[in-house]
Amino acid sequence: MILQMNKQILTGVVMCLLLATSSCLNTTHEDKLNGTDFPPPLMGWSSWNTYHVNINEELIKKQADALVAQGLKDAGYIYINIDDGFFGYRDGSGKMHAHPERFPNGMKVVSDYIHSLGLKAGIYSDAGDNTCGSIYDNDNNGVGAGLYGHEQQDMDLYLKEWNFDFIKIDYCGAQKLGLDEEERYTAISKAIVNTGRTDVSVNICRWAFPGTWAKNLARSWRISPDIRPNWTSVKRIIEKNLYLSAYAGEGHYNDMDMLEIGRGLAPSEEEVHFGVWCIMSSPLLIGCDLTSIPEASLSLLKNKELIALNQDRLGLQAYVVQRDKDYYVLVKDIEQKHGNVRAVAFCNASDSVHEFHTPLQALELCGKVKVRDLVEGMDLEDITSDTCNYTVPPHGILICRMEAEKRTEADRYEAEWAYLPCFNDLAKKPKQILYAPSSECSGGMKVRYLGGSMENYAEWKEVYSEQGGEYEMTIHYCSPTQRKLEIWVNGKRHESAGLLSGGEDSVATITIPITLKAGYNNIRMGNNFGWAPDIDCFTLKRLSFK
């Protein structure tokens, strides 16, 4: 009993320490200067995309110089991140040394140089024993170079002795060892906390959304396999991130991987790539050779209005409000929450021209709307009807700042916007809660495998009511067998039993009266025992004022 209590207290203490690190990270001096409420997504350059493991001291210094000379530092790109390839060997005490030929003067000299330019320095390791480079890039020095068994020793070296400010922690070695992601990254985080550095930015690189725990340990986490400099890869990563907006925020971000701008994509594809990374608040790490970057790519990377969208003080990730195949409309609040200004992207990822017709209500805007095209940096015609109509070329995007006369209440909340505390994209369990395509559902998506325990719920944290009052809530669900759904509105429980839609993909509805308070409301759905129905969306109709 006492032992168990001690364990609980200890876990509590460790969690507090980890959270303390991340909250310290929330308020660095630099962030205060920037005037942001949360640390914005990281901006900088990383060596991997162009050079893989073939890096060296001179190359890194040249790229850092070029970052400054090209005006990218002034545009906000302040990290120079050394990826895989710097590993030398461990000496008799287990201490890692830099690659003797590539970094003959060691790594501290390199981080000092980066710092001398007013930049921050990033480094790389693996949660397991062997690095990815040792497996896929014939880098023998990567064997045994990972953090496994050297957590504290390596973190002390990288973050204290070598003084790096960012670390990306890959998973190749850990995957081969069959380790558990949450346990591994938690152990590594403890080692980071022990260094006493509270300003280090941590990136989890597990190539899929790892789970909601990641937010307690890292500033950002990769959500996809490695990016490549081609359209198919960019499009696939965007699709991977479409339904992960609930997990970003408060200074923590879904990482869509390093940028392939300046590496051969068509101009309009570069706009989609950069524009979506910006509206989705992904870290922006340039991946090309900065000494020979094409002019058009450079000016896109320096586009002030798109950068402002990425670095917006609210730190939100856009979510999908309209989707049909490869055409999607993304939206997020900027500048002020639930204000009259929103960022909207009309993305045409298909191979032919597409006409978007999007009701203003889907964007929660009404009245006359001022529109600014952020890629072109010019004002477009005001919207004066209740639909916005735009024609977007194939592999093209229109990203706008919209300022409306009035903000409306949402009348539909999609299941694919919900926060699912038990969700991850690691595909380890067969019936894991997830966002699943479903042809009859609005937006073509639903939440599947909801319920079975109290913890496995779906949550909409910000259901907005301007004045509060009585509403009719209509839940759209799919249920092949009779199932129970529990619904909590600001903690008040409702239950609907015997729900049956007749098939996996056929949609039925149920309507219940609910009371919302003015401002943000919390709505949860689940089933503490058996499966709940799959959820498509819910709609709200206001019946009366409070």
> Where do contacts with ligand GLA occur on this chain (CB under 6 A)?
48, 83-84, 132-133, 137, 170, 205, 207, 226
| CB-CB contact of 517 with 490 (8 Å) | yes
524 phi, psi to nearest 5 deg: -125, 150
Nearer to ligand GLA, 223 or 436 (CB): 223
Nearer to ligand GLA, 117 or 426 (CB): 426
The residue annotated as part of the active site, out of 226, 289, 373, 505, is 226
Nearer to ligand GLA, 131 or 310 (CB): 131
**Which CA distances in Å does 274 have to 82, 143, 198, 305?**
22, 35, 30, 12
Name the token pair of 20: 């303390």
**Rounded least distance, CB 121 to ligand GLA, Å:** 16
Nearer to ligand GLA, 68 or 426 (CB): 426
**Rounded least distance, CB 228 to ligand GLA, Å:** 11
The residue annotated as part of the active site, out of 126, 139, 165, 170, is 170
199 is catalytic: no
**Rounded least distance, CB 47 to ligand GLA, Å:** 9
**Rounded least distance, CB 193 to ligand GLA, Å:** 24
Q: Which amino acid is at 215?
A: K
* Residue nearest ligand GLA by beta-carbon distance: 132
Nearer to ligand GLA, 60 or 205 (CB): 205
Q: Which helix (H) or strand (E) holds 214?
A: helix 214-217
Alpha carbon 464 to chain centroid, angstroms: 23
226 is catalytic: yes
Nearer to ligand GLA, 218 or 347 (CB): 218
Name the token pair of 47: 């060596």
User: Which residues contact residue 10 at a Cβ distance below 8 angstroms, ignoring those fewer than 6 apart?
Assistant: none
Cα(253)–Cα(219) distance, rounded to whole angstroms? 6
**Rounded least distance, CB 76 to ligand GLA, Å:** 22
Name the token pair of 412: 């539909």
Angle (nearest 5°) at CA 348 between 424 and 264: 85
**Rounded least distance, CB 256 to ligand GLA, Å:** 12
Cα(499)–Cα(490) distance, rounded to whole angstroms? 23
Buried b (16+ CB within 10 A) or exposed e, 96-111: bbbbeebbeebbbebb
Cα(393)–Cα(414) distance, rounded to whole angstroms? 27
Residue numbers annotated as active site: 170, 226
